[in-house]
Structure 1
Amino acid sequence: MNTLALLTVALLFGGMVLYSFGFAAALFTTLPPEQAGSTLRRVFPHFYLFVMVTSAVGAALLWASNPLSAYLLAAISITTLPTRQVLMPAINAATDAGNKQRFKRLHGLSVVVTLAHIALAAVVLARFV
């Protein structure tokens, strides 16, 4: 069970880092801005779903053996829901309305949330050592 938990948390951490720093950046360097933005808009709900499910599975796998790590993963899962259902649509609405200031503020918040999730997943990974 511990090995499966470790692999699940590693998948979560790696997936979040790759998506945030690799995939999203690559889109904007290889596609025109409008197409890159449109593609990200379609993919982000799947990314957030991946984060919610993977962190919840990790939490369930660790609940009995490592309650603190399980709690941290559960926190990632729970806080991803409003990010996906509230923050992401607000970012899209700001983009659609051409409200650049609101977009920057909301996008900045989403970046902070994602970086916090990556940091929490890193803490959980480090606790396996």
Structure 2
Amino acid sequence: MHFYIPGAIAGIIVFQVSIIAPTMFKKLKIEDFGTAIRSIWPKFFALICFLALASIGVMLSSGDGNNVHLGISGFTLLASGICYGIIPATNRATDSGNSKKFDLLHKLSVWLTVAILLANIAFLLV
């Protein structure tokens, strides 16, 4: 049972970055894209936080999983929480034209999301 949630997290990330975001970028005007993406990304990271917390809860209540699994779910919770937390600063950097700060925060968010994806794939293999 404890393998379903990390699989869902990995699937959600792949779906978001390979289908949702590129489709929006191609089909929406840049102003509309910005508005839509500012609405979607917080929900995306909040959902991953919730699922990571649920994963930890399932493992602790059922006794399934091991310390590596708990560590991966804990990392997922922390990293997605950081990504969620930096969204307002990223938006402010965009709005004020501070491209250096935006690039730094955006790269942090991207790298953490990639790490979350890889960690949750690894969860299924360890």
Q: CA–CA distance in 2 between the matches of 1:59 and 1:123?
A: 16
Q: CA–CA distance in 1 between the matches of 2:9 and 2:46?
A: 11
Q: CA–CA distance in 1 between the matches of 2:39 and 2:54?
A: 24
Q: CA–CA distance in 2 between the matches of 1:79 and 1:111?
A: 11
Any conservation in 2 of the 1:59–1:71 contact (CA below 8 Å)? no
**Secondary structure of residue in 2 paired with 1:5:** coil
Provide, for residues 23-81 of structure 1, a one-character-per-residue CA deviation record: whole Å limited to 9, x for no partner.
Answer: 11111011111211110101111111110011111122234222211221111112222
**Post-superposition offset of 1:105:** 1.8
Aligned length: 123
Task: Within 5 Å, give how 1:1-129 maps onto structure 2.
Answer: 4-63=1-60, 64-67=63-66, 68-85=68-85, 87-127=86-126
**Post-superposition offset of 1:82:** 2.5
For 1:89, give the aligned amino acid: P
TM-score, length of structure 2 as denominator length: 0.89
**Post-superposition offset of 1:20:** 2.0
RMSD: 1.4
**Secondary structure of residue in 1 paired with 2:64:** coil
Any conservation in 2 of the 1:51–1:77 contact (CA below 8 Å)? yes
For 1:100, give the aligned amino acid: S
**Secondary structure of residue in 1 paired with 2:79:** helix
**Post-superposition offset of 1:13:** 0.8
**Post-superposition offset of 1:113:** 0.7
Q: CA–CA distance in 1 between the matches of 2:75 and 2:104?
A: 23
**Post-superposition offset of 1:106:** 1.3
> What percent of counterpart residues are identical?
22
- Structure 1 residue ranges without an equivalent (≥5): none
TM-score, length of structure 1 as denominator length: 0.87
Structure scoring higher RCO (CA < 8 A, sep ≥ 6) equals: 2
